[in-house]
Amino acid sequence: MRFTHLLLALVLVLACSQVKRLTSADRLGPDDKLQYLILASLNPNAGVQYLSEPTAAARSAYSSWFWRNSQFVAGKDTAAQKLYWQRALEAKNFFGTIDLMNDERVKTYIRYGPPHREAYQPKPVQHETLRIVVNPAEIWTYENLGRQFDFVKTGTAYKLVGESRFGPNIIAPSLEQVDFSQPAPEPAAQPIPLDLKFALIRLEQHNDTVEVELHYGIPQNQLAQIPTGNLLPLIHIYMEFKPHTNSSPVSRCLWVTPGITPDSSDNRLAVAREVFHLHADVYTVSVQAISSEGSAECTQTGKLNLLDYVKKAQPISDIVFCSLADSTFQAVQFERLGWRRLVPMIVPKVRSGQTFYLLYELYNLGLDQEAWHRAEARYEIIEQTTRQFAIVPTPAKFISGPGSEAVVVERVHTMDLRPGDYLLVARIHDLEKKRDISLTARFRIVPR
């Protein structure tokens, strides 16, 4: 019986322990391991080839050939080789003491150098009867390269779960207004159906008038299918807000064209933003997009309730999901609130591991003796099917500034969250008025 208990205890210990996964690279000597990691970080195929060489002499010969023909080294310059070797030694000391060959921070460090590193060591979370154990996570940012990497610890090593880009090297797909003095064409007998999407965002109210943003977009691959010869397609957009009372409709029409040449393999939306100021009412909203030759068309409708919004004197706006937020100018329509570029997402759907941004406004905040507001924001993410809380590295944020209004832009990393439907809850505590404000929004994570 005692032996049985010991055997059971051993099985439990092994089951709960972190097991290091061995690879063929683990059989290499210390220097060969670093050389392999350098090659694999610069060119994964080179790492595979290096690992397949049968002898140390063959590996050395391949390494010499790689550096002679590498895009990372100019001619016979060995300074770059020394730099990568120094990074490999640093990565080994910083991140490779437990699982050098499997920790994906190592290759990232070798390739790009020291990052701005945010490390999160969350503790287990107790929520009612549910205890959630959260894995440690790290976010690495390279501002000069416009790149960000998300890592989550799995077993003995950190795995790369997400990567995002920003800055001047990235151009978000957009629809830009153009001056084209032609009326909207009639649609063809069988026009190409466009997958037009739009979203309505309720913002600040002044008495019985509300500022409303209309974001709309068309997939790039559909724009690429519109027959235009070698020219960019021209799209006529008609937007109408029809009130349920006897008031006159509010409408606007304009011509737009893609900001960049549409990519037929890219299903991301080319997006645009329009701002309206509407009286409190319930509206039927319609948006039509039709190409200049009438060969492609779509009309979408929706509802907008501003009566309830005004009656409740909302202290917080709707949440705007954004795909990109940075200090790079792209177009006037994406400039707002001190940011050079805030690109709306329209459909709140991201791929697993993808980073996105939240934007919302706060109104009627309490003021201190200096006429500044002070508030604190926290965020919760809940998986809708299981109602399980998901913990991501979005820490509490302190909000302060002059006046009774505030604009908040928050970065959200989905890290290793499973694909599914999620509820995001923003909880804000007004430190001056001692009141709590909350807002919810839904988003979806899809597989990579």
DSSP codes of every residue in 211-279: EEEEEEEEEHHHHTTS--TTSPP-EEEEEEEEESSSSPPEEEEEEEEESSPPPTT--PEEEEEEEEEEE
Looking at the structure, do residues 230 and 309 belong to the same domain, yes or no? Answer: yes
Decide if 251 contacts 210 (C-beta within 8 A). no
Task: State the average pLDDT over residues 270-294.
Answer: 96
AA letter at 375:
A
Q: What are the pLDDT digits (tens) for 75-117?
A: 556 788 899 999 999 999 999 888 999 999 999 999 999 999 9
Looking at the structure, do residues 75 and 199 belong to the same domain, yes or no? Answer: no
Q: Report if residue 329 sits inside a domain.
A: no
Residue with tokens 């302190």: 398
Residue of 252, 436, 448 lying closest to 362 (CA atoms): 436
* pLDDT band, residue 388 (cuts 50/70/90): confident
Q: What is the pLDDT of residue 17?
A: 44
Q: What is the pLDDT of residue 20?
A: 55
What percent of the chain is predicted at pLDDT more than 70? 89
Residue with tokens 């977009």: 217
Q: How many helices (H) and strands (E) does the chain have?
A: 8, 25
Looking at the structure, do residues 197 and 265 belong to the same domain, yes or no? Answer: yes
Domain CATH number, residue 209: 2.60.40.10
Decide if 356 contacts 321 (C-beta within 8 A). yes
Q: Report if residue 303 sits inside a domain.
A: yes
Looking at the structure, do residues 302 and 177 belong to the same domain, yes or no? Answer: yes
Looking at the structure, do residues 180 and 305 belong to the same domain, yes or no? Answer: yes
Q: Report if residue 44 sits inside a domain.
A: yes
Q: Report if residue 82 sits inside a domain.
A: yes
Phi-psi region of 49 (alpha: psi -120 to 50; beta: other; left: phi over 0): alpha
Q: What is the pLDDT of residue 15?
A: 40
Q: What is the pLDDT of residue 22?
A: 59
Return all residues near 114 (Cβ < 8 A) that are at least 6 apart: 90
Q: What are the pLDDT digits (tens) for 412-424?
A: 988 888 899 999 9
Domain end, chosen from 313, 331, 349, is at 313
**Number of residues that make up the chain:** 448
Q: Report if residue 408 sits inside a domain.
A: no
Q: What is the pLDDT of residue 214?
A: 98
Q: Report if residue 419 sits inside a domain.
A: no
Give strand ranges (E) for 130-196. Answer: 130-132, 137-142, 147-154, 157-165, 175-178, 192-193
- C-alpha 392/C-alpha 162 separation (Å) is 13
- C-alpha 346/C-alpha 341 separation (Å) is 15
* pLDDT band, residue 16 (cuts 50/70/90): very low
Task: State the average pLDDT over residues 246-262.
Answer: 93
**Which segments of 203-311 does DSSP mark as H helices, in order?**
220-223, 307-311
Instruction: Give the domain extent around 284.
Output: 173-313
Looking at the structure, do residues 109 and 190 belong to the same domain, yes or no? Answer: no
Domain end, chosen from 295, 313, 331, is at 313
Number of independent structural domains in the chain: 2
Looking at the structure, do residues 211 and 298 belong to the same domain, yes or no? Answer: yes
Looking at the structure, do residues 177 and 307 belong to the same domain, yes or no? Answer: yes
The overall average pLDDT reported for the chain is 88
Strands across the sheet with 192-193, in order?
A: 175-178, 250-258, 235-243, 282-291, 296-305, 192-193
Looking at the structure, do residues 102 and 206 belong to the same domain, yes or no? Answer: no
Q: What is the pLDDT of residue 73?
A: 64
- C-alpha 355/C-alpha 171 separation (Å) is 16
Looking at the structure, do residues 185 and 306 belong to the same domain, yes or no? Answer: yes
Q: What is the pLDDT of residue 129?
A: 44
Q: What is the pLDDT of residue 380?
A: 87
What percent of the chain is predicted at pLDDT more than 90? 69
Q: Report if residue 320 sits inside a domain.
A: no
Residue 196 has pLDDT above 80, yes or no: yes
Residue 341 has pLDDT above 80, yes or no: yes
- More confident call, 134 vs 51: 51
Q: Report if residue 186 sits inside a domain.
A: yes
Q: Is 386 helix (H, G, I), strand (E, B) or coil?
A: coil
Residue 392 has pLDDT above 70, yes or no: no
Looking at the structure, do residues 228 and 297 belong to the same domain, yes or no? Answer: yes
Instruction: Name beta bridge partners: 276.
Output: 212
As a whole number of Å, the CA-based R_g of the chain is: 27
Q: Model-level pTM?
A: 0.86
Domain end, chosen from 313, 330, 353, is at 313
Decide if 231 contacts 201 (C-beta within 8 A). no
Looking at the structure, do residues 191 and 309 belong to the same domain, yes or no? Answer: yes
Residue 222 has pLDDT above 60, yes or no: yes
Q: Which helix (H) or strand (E) is 11 found in, with range?
A: helix 2-16
